[in-house]
Amino acid sequence: MATSKRTLSVLITGASSGIGKALAEHYAKTTAHTLFICGRNADRLQETKRRCEQLGCKVYSQILDVTDRRATQDWIEGCYKQSPLNLVIANAGTGTIHDTIDSIYQTFDTNLYGVLHTILPAIELYRQAPATSSFRQIAIISSIAGYHGLSTCPAYSASKAGVKAYGEALRVKLKPEGIKVSVVCPGFVRSRITDQNTCPMPFFMEAPDAAKIIAEGLTRNKAIISFPAPLRFSTWLVSILPNCLSDFIYALLPNKA
């Protein structure tokens, strides 16, 4: 994936804000000749499209809710017919300040099933192409919160843990077929989700900086792209401690609001 040539056809879900928007702009100004982006907010998605087109990329946008399995599959298949995809980034996600019954279901529907609705059709399309025909990669946006269940956001951390584990397994399973899979686990990155938080957010990062780290990790075909390093290490360390210790540490965390 040389940055000097526009060689990629890239699809990104949840591209109307946050990491998704930043990734769209990053690829629009570097390696993508065609971008397919989706989101649920028409105004924000149109702004992403306008910005990416200004950067010299051909952009197709679609208002889409990834919890709709059939609509998502139809969109991805239609995109592939227009331009065979090289990179599919399952980024669309949601988070809430307080877990309610409705928000818990919504979180799992978007963060877990929305990812499946995105990557499973892409995998089937990749499989139909000759193994040597093109670069084929899938990126799953999880979270550092997926390293261990968090009492401050049980549904969010559990849904992100699910896609993290699934992506790790897929990487090994699909490697013989020439399909690359990477899981992305960011820390606190500016987005519409973090804009709701009033709790401390250590090592807070702007979305364009996060997008650059993610793109560089995908170029290197890293299995896990997790950042920032201090937060990743501390979260990983707590996750391997005995439960009596990790429970004590996590019980000290402040509420999100």
Query: What residues are labeled active site?
Result: 156
Nearest-angstrom CA–CA distance, 156 and 39: 19
Give the bridge partners for 186, in sequence order: 227
Amino acid at 255: N
Sheet holding 58-63, edge to edge: 58-63, 32-39, 8-12, 87-90, 137-141, 180-186, 224-227
**Whole-angstrom distance, CA of residue 63 vs CA of residue 3:** 29
